[in-house]
Amino acid sequence: MLQHVSPQRGENFDPVPTLLMHFADGNDVIRTDAVQAMAQVAPGDDRVRQALLGALLDQDPDVRSDAMEALQDFAQPEDCDTIRNSLTGDPVREVKLAAVVLLAMLKDHASIPLFRKLTLSRAEDEVAWEDEAGLWDEWLEVQAAVIRALGHLGASDAIADMLAARDDEFGQNLDQPVFEALSQMGQDGLIWLLAIVQTETGLPRKRALEILERLDPMALVDQIDALWQDKNPEVRALILNHMPVHDPRLAQAATQDPSELVRQAALRLAADPELAIEALADPSTKVQAAALDLVDRPQNADFHATLLANMVAWARTDDGPLVSAVARNWVRLAPTTPFDLLMEIARAADRPLEARVLAVSALADLQDEAATERLISLLSNPSQQVRAAAGRHLAARGRDGDEDAVEALAAAAEAVLLPPQETPDPVAVTAEAPRLKVSDKGDIVATSPSETAVSTLEAIQINRTASPRETKAEGKPSPERKQGKNRKRQAIEGPTEIAPDLARIVLTLFQDLRDPRSGAAVLAMTHAGDDTLRYGAYRALVARLDDLRITEADAVRLLAGLKDRNANIRACCAEYAAQAPDTHPALCAALGNCHDDTDAMVRVAAARVLTQKESVLSALRDDDARIRARVLDRILSTEDVVSPEEAFETLLAGDRIVTLRQGAAQSDDFKQRILEKLAAHDLTPRTAHVLLQSLNTKHGDGAAV
C-alpha cells in the first residue's frame, strides 16, 4: 500500500516528493510510469536527475530504457561515465541505443574509441548483450547509431572504420548513416563523399549526391575546378549550383556540355535570353523547353514568325516538356495572335495532361471578349483535370464580377452537362438545342425547351456541340428527341460521369464564391439524390455561411441536413450549428438532440451545445476521445454546468488517460488535481498508473482510452 504524502498547496507546490514516492514503488509498471512523469513535470530538477541515474540500475529493463531516454533533458557532462557504463554493461538494446544518442548529445569524445569498436563488431570483450549466442541482430541498430554518433562528434579518425563497415559484404546496408556522418566531418569526409559519387553507380551514388546537395554551398567552393572536369554529368550538374552566376563556364555548359542534364541546369542558372535563343536549336527537347521559358519576345519580325511556326509544330508533335513549354509561353510570346493553338492543346486527349492544364491557365490569363466563353466550353472536357482547371479560373472570374462565368458554374453545379465545343468562335443560337441534365437517379436525360427555361448563354454553350445536321436544321428537333414529359436518355460523347463530376468540382468552388446565383444552386443541390453531390452542396452551404448571416432558407436546409441519412452531411451541419449557437435557436436545439447520434463527429459537434448536466457527464463517458476532449475543453475554458472537479472524477472513474492528459496539458489547476490524487494513501495500482500516465503529456494520444 502506498504511503500518504501531504501535498503542499499554492504556487510553491512541489510535485517531486510525490513522484519519487511512486518511483520507489515495488510495481515495475508504476516505476516506469513515474520515470516518464518526472521527466515531464519537473524538467531540470536535480533530484529527478539523480533518481534517473539511479534508475539505470533498476531490475526492470523498461524502467532502465525509459530512464536513459528521460536523461536527455537532465544529464550533465559529468554523467557520461555512468551513461557509458550502462552502454557497455546493460544487455538491453533499447538502453544502448538511448545511451549512444545521449553520449553524442553531450559531446562525449571519450566514447569515440568505444563507438569505433562497435562500428566494426559487437565488441563482446567490452560490451554485454542479451543474445549470448553471438547473433548480430541486436547489434545492427547499435552499429548504425554509433556511426551517426561519430558523425555528430566529427570524429574524422573513424572514417576508415565506417568505410570498412560499409564494405562488409556480410553486413547491412550502411549507405545512409555513413554518408550522413561523412558530411559532418569537414573536408576529410567531403573528399570521401565525392569519391563515392565519382567511382560508384546506382543507388549509392544517388544517395551520396542527395547528401552533397544538402551541404552548405560554401562547402564545395574549393572543389569546383576539380569537379568541373569530372566525367560524371551528375557531378557537373551538382557543382553548377556552387558556381558564381557570372562564371563563363555556365554559358559554355549551357550549349556545349555533352549531357542534356548539365545543359538544362546551366541554362536555367544562367538565365540569359540570348543564350536561350541559341539553345532553342538543342537536340534535347528538355533543353529546348528550358530555353523557351527564358526567351524574350523577339523584336525581329522574321525571327518572331519562325519562332511561332516552330512552337506550333512542337505543340502538335511533342509528347513531353516542349509542348508544356509552348502552352506556358504562347500568350507571352504571341499576345496578338489567335489562341486556337491553346484550345487545341487543352482539348487534345493525346497531349500530356500537364500541357493541357497549362493551356487552360494560359487561356484564363486572357482578357478579350471571348475569354470567358473559351473557359466555359472546357467545363465539359472529358478530362477531369481540365474541367477542374477551367472551373477554378471561372470561379476567379466570378469573384471579379464576371456574370457569364457565374451563370455557367451555377448550371454546372446542378449537374447540367455542358458538352465540349467544336470551335471557340461565336455561332448562332439554336433555340431547340437539348439541355442535358443528371436526374436524381443518376440518369442523363434531355429536356425540351418547353420544360425548362434555357438562358441565352446555355443555348450558346449547347449549340457549340450541335452536329452540322442539327445546326442546319435551324431549330427543328431531331426525331429522336421527344417533347414534353416523354424524356429520353440522351447519348453523349465521352464518360457519362462528366456532369456529376463537374457538379462536385463546382460545388467545391462555390464554397468561396459569394453570389446569389451560386447560392441558389447550392441550396438546390442540397436536395440531390446522390449522396456525394448532396454532401458537396452542404459543405459549400456551410462554408458560405461563415461570413453571411443565416437566412430562413439556409436554416431549413441545415435542419434537414441534421437528419440526413448520410453521416458526413449530419456532421457538416452539426459543426456549423455548434460554431454559431446563437444564430438560429431552432438549429441549436436540433443540434442538442443529436448528442446520441450514431456518428461520432456529430456527437463531437453536439457536445458544444449541451445544457443538461447529465448530458455533459454522459459525453465525458463517451468511448470516443474526441467527444470527451470537446466537452473538457469547454469545462476548463468557461463556467459550465459541470465543474472541473466533477469532470476530473468522471474521467478518472473511466480510466480515460488521453483526456486526463489533455486536462493536465491545458490547465495547471487540473494537473495539480492529478498530483494531489497521486498523494493519496489508498490508491490502487490501476489508479496510480492512470494518474501517472496522465502527466506524461509528450505521450502520443491513444485511440482506446
Given this model, what pLDDT does residue 551 score?
82
388-414 tens-digit pLDDT: 999 999 999 999 999 999 999 999 998
- Out of 213, 231, 264, a domain closes at 213
Of the candidates 213, 247, 277, which is a domain's last residue? 213
- For 29, the 3-state DSSP assignment is helix
pLDDT classification of 360: cutoffs 50, 70, 90: very high
336, three cell numbers: 496578338
Element (H, E) at 256: helix 248-256
Say what the pLDDT of residue 431 is.
30
220 part of a folded domain: no
E-strand stretches of 448-523 = 488-489
Residue 476 has pLDDT above 80, yes or no: no
Q: Look up residue 380 and give its three cell numbers.
A: 465539359
Cell triple for residue 634? Answer: 469547454
pLDDT over threshold 50, residue 530: yes
Mean pLDDT for 123-134 is: 84
Q: Which residues of 349-374 are buried (b: 16+ CB within 10 A; e: fewer)?
A: eebbeebbbbbbbbbbebeeeebbbb
pLDDT, mean of residues 126-140: 81
User: pLDDT tens digits for 628-678?
Assistant: 999 999 899 988 899 999 999 999 999 999 999 999 999 999 999 999 999
Per-residue pLDDT band at 453 (split at 50, 70, 90): very low
Per-residue pLDDT at 576: 86
Mean pLDDT along residues 170-187: 93
Sign of CA dihedral 188, 189, 195, 198: negative
475 in a structural domain = yes
pLDDT > 60? residue 436: no
**The amino acid at 453:** A
The pLDDT of residue 439 is above 50: no
Whether the per-residue pLDDT at 272 is higher than 60: the answer is yes
CA distances 329 to 180, 274, 347, 351, 612, Å, are: 41, 17, 18, 16, 64
pLDDT digits (tens, 9 = 90+) for 61-105: 999 999 999 999 999 999 999 999 999 999 999 999 999 999 999
Whether the CB-CB separation of 289 and 328 falls below 8 Å is answered with no
Q: What's the rounded Cα separation, in Å, for the pair 357 and 603?
A: 42
Buried b or exposed e, range 678-704, using 16+ CB within 10 angstroms: bbeeebeeebbbbbbbbbbeeeeeeee
Residue 417's SS3 state is strand
* 8 is a domain residue: no
Query: Which stretch of DSSP H or E encloses residue 279?
Result: helix 273-279
Under the banding of pLDDT at 50, 70 and 90, the label for residue 375 is: very high
Helix (H) or strand (E) holding 416: strand 416-417
Query: Does residue 45 lie in a domain region?
Result: yes
Residue 89: inside a domain: yes
Query: φ, ψ for residue 259 (rounded to 5)?
Result: -100, 130
Instruction: Let me know if residue 649 belongs to a domain.
Output: no
Task: State residue 547's pLDDT score.
Answer: 55
Q: What is the pLDDT of residue 225?
A: 82
Radius of gyration of the chain (CA): 35
Flag whether pLDDT at 522 surpasses 90. Answer: yes
pLDDT of 417 reads: 61
Question: 533 falls in which pLDDT band (50, 70, 90)?
Answer: very high
Out of 38-42, 58-62, 458-462, which region has the weakest mean confidence (pLDDT)?
458-462
Q: How confident is the model at residue 699 (pLDDT cuts 50, 70, 90)?
A: low
Confidence bin at 491 (pLDDT 50/70/90): very low
Q: What is the pLDDT of residue 487?
A: 31
> Contact, 172 vs 201, CB < 8 A?
no
Q: Which helix (H) or strand (E) holds 344?
A: helix 340-347
* pLDDT surpassing 60 at residue 39: yes
Mean local confidence (pLDDT), 322-347: 93
Does residue 335 fall inside a structural domain? no
Q: What is the mean pLDDT of the chain?
A: 84
Instruction: State if pTM tops 0.75.
Output: no
What CATH number is attached to the domain comprising 201?
A: 1.25.10.10
Neighbours of 563 (CB within 10 A): 12
User: What letter would DSSP give residue 563?
Assistant: T
Q: Torsion angle, CA of 693/695/700/701, rounded to 10 degrees? A: 80
DSSP string spanning 80-128? Answer: HHHHHHHHHH---HHHHHHHHHHHHHTT-GGGHHHHHHHHHS--TTT--
Range of the domain at 100: 16-213
User: Which triple of cell numbers denotes residue 478?
Assistant: 431531331
Give the chain's domain count.
Answer: 2
Whole-number pLDDT of residue 488: 34
Last residue of a domain, one of 158, 188, 213: 213
- Phi first, then psi, for residue 483 (nearest 5°) are -95, 165
Q: Across residues 417-437, what is the average pLDDT? A: 40
For residue 265, tell me if it sits in a domain: no
406 close to 399: Cβ distance less than 8 angstroms: no
